[in-house]
Amino acid sequence: MKKKRFFYIILAFITFSCVLYCVQWKEDIEKRINIRTQLEKQDAGIYAHILLKEMEYFPVCPDNTKKVDYYFENGYGTGRTYGGERKHEGIDIMSSVNKPRCLKIRSVSDGIVEKKGWLELGGYRLGIRSKSGIYYYYAHLDQYKDGIEQGQHIDAGEVIGYMGNTGYGPEVTKGQFDVHLHFGIYVDKGDSEVSLNPYYLLEYLSDKQIN
Ligand SMILES: [Zn+2]
């Protein structure tokens, strides 16, 4: 009798695990389809598969002490005025604590450091190009991780710098806005490099990081 009860408990557990797995699998597929749909709006559906394959990490490392959090919204394409009228070509990932260096930044994918240094708009920035040719842009860093150099190979998930508020002026300008990471994705479209909206990919990676 006891054996029978044990068998049913095991069976129930296996059934429950299978159902849970199927629900998560279905949710994952739906999120991936949504990413493709959103990219298609930018005429960039063909990049969905590559981006989902090579983007392995959310660009902000979670704080192990749980004291600092991050948040972001879909601010792609909104207006910007510094440096002339322009559209926001990325997503701003804000820190819950407005203090430079409070969160670490990591590379979303494998790649080569193509650009490092100051930009008036981006402050201390890094541009990392993956093997597939996609360019990942990280801006407003407070500082780079020691040893990061142009031409260097970076692994997905490797720490590359620290979140900051640099930019909007000559080199070392800080504090013109709140501490955040500006993250952008650029793809080659024939004669020009165009930005894609990273919002849905970031949402996907962030959810995956929590779960
Ligand atoms: Zn931005």
Please state the domain extents for the chain: 2-46, 57-210
Q: Which of 64, 44, 102 is nearest to 209 (CA)?
A: 64
Tokens of 39: 């990219």
Report CA(174)–ligand 1 centroid distance (Å).
15
Can you name the CATH fold of 57-210?
Answer: Glucose Permease (Domain IIA) (2.70.70)
pLDDT in tens, the chain (211 residues): 678 888 889 999 999 999 999 999 999 999 999 999 999 999 999 999 999 999 999 999 999 999 999 999 999 999 888 878 889 999 999 999 999 999 999 999 999 999 999 999 999 999 999 999 999 999 999 999 999 999 999 999 999 999 999 999 999 999 999 999 999 999 998 888 999 999 999 999 999 886 4
Report CA(91)–ligand 1 centroid distance (Å).
6
Entry pTM:
0.92
Report CA(92)–ligand 1 centroid distance (Å).
5
Output the 3-class SS for 99-154.
CCCCCEEECCCCEEEEEEEEECCCEEEEEEECCCCCEEEEEEECEECCCCCCCCEE
Report CA(181)–ligand 1 centroid distance (Å).
7
Report CA(164)–ligand 1 centroid distance (Å).
12
